Structure 1
């Protein structure tokens, strides 16, 4: 049995891992959205291959998940069980939950009237399509998040990504017809008001983008950026709701899901990268007729300064997912919600310091409203879990009290 010191040490490692990996990931993500100087130093160009970025991260994520599963392999466990391809593949990680895109988990939820699936053919017939569905959502969500950074500041994007509860709720209702507690609608209202305040009370949009169009350039950029973020969040919500359904119906661990979804994402993005697609806004902004892989490799060759943030982006995103699943496995979703909530706040502060963003008092107020709404969600979850723990302890005590008089009576009858 692990001692209290061991538990504290494990928790400290998880917290440090999530913070360090995703703070570094955020810095590299924002750096990749701004121009890089060419090799001769005469020009500066933006990297326009978001699918290539996704390929790099998903490839490293699937590799790290496989390495994690191999290192945690139990004696006598077959490869089919290790990879989640066997109906008997159940281990202590089954309680894990999360996203495959370096994003946070929503916790285990009950399936909507569906019995758990354990057929030996379930992987091919029902589980694999779910993984493919998640991979499509993730693949096409990432470019919209990357494109949004050309129109809104990174703190605005972090704040919007903190509101994933909204699209997750909507997609769960639309796709799987699930109902939610009343307080969640209060959280959604606070988040919506906070985002509106942040975007409406900002003052740097026009200067940041240097737009020279008709009308209000700040308003135009905000509308475009928020539209991209909305699409990104809707696809993220569809991903999370599908992952919730997988965990509710199938006996898989978080690391197994991380492996398969990222592997399928790598195959999908690699296929897209080698196709000579025409110019497609957001999804394929490279030159029409040129493959994204060639465009990305040419850019790296002429702009070598991109290599470091690119490697940092892929590596920290992959390792960060492992720390998230480790936290879920040993401490549950409540602890993870607390860690990720504060991490996003520090991500905003770090972005403001590192890249010298200027936030108005109204934007800080909007940020406070958003995090207040998310804090309500965390507080309610903590209260519910604490209440369940108290009920379980009382049941244990009552059952022991019930057994004690019975044993006493038996000893009394024996004496007589």
Structure 2
């Protein structure tokens, strides 16, 4: 079941975000004006993110309600009610169990004393709704802040440099897990991270287009400004902030699943996207002054500050062709997030980042087969290193699953003998 779920998550992430990338690329090129004479680019990434977060929260809400159990209240279906602790029972080994969980500190010598009374279910005192919501808000702030820094980095560094930086995303995810939450990983996890990061970096660096792109960007950056060392330093700084915020997001999501085991991926998806919508809506509606990276909109000709929402609505009125790719971007992103948070819940952030990073590699390899492209020797070596790292992860996972099944079979045999 674990392998089937992982395979479904991989297929879902790959398919939805391939379509998402197509829509995003369409949004990055100019749209024709209704007068048919001029063209302009859509320059509202904040509104793009808000549209996606609105549909993502709606899709998560519908999923939760469709999977809602008959006896669950509305608040419990959203994960906002503490889990109940029913009457304690003994598993025969001196360990008290409550609702399927074990507490090794509570012992009863193989029996449970209740003085002839049955204790009713009561809320868990270890649960904190406010703490859970604060963690959701923390993730939303990280996500909303990370996107502008990634977008702004392209104004100072080339796209290949951006891709190379993104290929090392596994490293900040692991670092932020260790620094923020003192989380430790198995030794093979560090090996897999190193192999996947090295393999993707080698694959990107030795691409056939690498040298030509480097030459084309040697004198100018992505927005046509001179590529000075000072500009490169700013772009690299923005990219590092983007990667660190992404790492903080993934590590905080891992912490939520660790602290609040009753939370499902779809519940997390719902609340994080609700908070992202509120933050993005506030920033896009308010006529804020110029804020570098976060709110880079310029004032109107009469000197008053305009909101990004007004600019976006005006663009849609004069460029109606933008609606279709914008809806496609939001819908594929929303459906893709269902698979994203399913992967997060059951396999953790490192596995998720491995899937999202290798998606680009598999897409490139697919284009090699379909369009008869050629790969350099360095690219084949990088691909081999990535596949080797994934194989190590799959081998260890398969071994762990087999060991768990052996333990479960032994427990079943012991219960039958009793």
The corresponding residue for 1:285 is 296
Aligned residues of 1:274 and 1:293 also touching (Cα < 8 A): yes
Instruction: Give the aligned partner of residue 311 of structure 1.
Output: 327
Q: 1:189 to 1:383 in 2, by over 3 A?
A: closer
Aligned to 1:238: 248
201, 222, 225: which one aligns with 1:195? 201
Matching residue of 1:179: 184
SS at match of 1:31: helix
Report the counterpart of residue 174 of structure 2 in structure 1: 169
Q: Tell me the distance in 2 between the aligned counterparts of 1:220 and 1:233.
A: 20
Map residues 319-334 of structure 1 onto 2, 5 A cutoff: 319-326=335-342
Query: Counterpart in 2 of 1:255?
Result: 266
Q: Deviations over 1:146-190 (max 9, x none)?
A: 344556676765564443211111111221122334444445555
Q: Which residue is 1:137 aligned to?
A: 142
Is the counterpart of residue 40 in structure 1 residue 35 in structure 2? yes
SS of match in other structure, 1:278: coil
Is residue 269 of structure 1 aligned with residue 264 of structure 2? Answer: no
| Higher RCO (C-alpha 8 Å, min separation 6) | 1
**Structure 1 residues 242 and 13 mapped into 2: Cα distance closer, same or farther (>3 Å)?**
closer
Q: Per-residue displacement from partner, 1:46-72 (whole Å, max 9, x unpaired)?
A: 322221111111111001000100111
Question: Which residue pairs with 1:102 in the alignment?
Answer: none
Matched-pair contact (CA < 8 Å) for 1:158–1:347:
no
Alignment partners' CA distance in 1, 2:218 and 2:288: 28
Note the C-alpha offset of 1:143: 1.9
In the aligned structure 1, how far is the partner of 2:415 from the partner of 2:71? 39
Corresponding position of 2:361:
345
| Match of residue 98 from structure 1 | none
**How many positions carry a matched residue from both structures?**
368
Cross-structure match for 2:65: 70
Offset of 1:136 from its aligned partner?
0.3
Normalised TM-score (structure 2): 0.72
Tell me how far 1:145 sits from its aligned partner.
2.8
TM-aligned CA deviation for residue 282 of structure 1: 2.8
Task: Select which of 81, 88, 96 maps to 1:86.
Answer: 81
User: What CA deviation, in whole Å up to 9, does each residue of 1:285-338 have, x standing for no partner?
Assistant: 222321111111122222222222211111100011123445677899999678
**2:69 aligned counterpart, secondary structure:** coil
Residue pair 2:288, 2:295 contacting (<8 A) in 1 also:
yes
Q: Does the aligned pair in 2 maintain the 1:131–1:261 contact within 8 Å?
A: yes
Q: Residues 162 and 79 of structure 1: is their aligned pair in 2 closer, same or farther, counting only changes over 3 Å?
A: farther
Deviations 1:97-139 (A, max 9, x none): xxxxxxxxxxxxxxxxxxxx95486112x11111111000000
Q: Determine the C-alpha separation between the residues in 2 that align with 1:352 and 1:304.
A: 36
Superimposed CA distance per residue, residues 16-39 of structure 1 (whole angstroms, 9 cap, x where no aligned partner) = 543321101011223323333333
Q: Match for residue 379 of structure 1?
A: 391
More helix by share: 1
Any stretches of 5+ residues in structure 2 without a counterpart?
A: 86-122, 300-304
Change (3 A) 1:235 1:299: same
Map Cα deviations across residues 345-377 of structure 1 (whole Å, 9 max, x no partner). 2445689999x9x9994xx836853x5555454
Match in the other structure for 2:316: 300
SS of the aligned residue for 2:286 comes to coil
User: What SS does the corresponding residue of 2:212 show, helix, strand or coil?
Assistant: coil
SS in 2 for 1:203: helix
Q: Does the CA-based 8 Å contact 2:148-2:294 persist in structure 1?
A: yes
Q: CA RMSD in A?
A: 4.3
C-alpha distance in 1, partners of 2:52/2:236?
24
TM-score, normalised by the number of residues in structure 1: 0.72
Q: Sort the Cα spacing of 1:211 and 1:303 in 2 relative to 1 into closer, same or farther, 3 A.
A: farther
Cα distance in 2 for residues equivalent to 1:359 and 1:300: 41
Counterparts of 1:48 and 1:209, CA distance in 2: 25
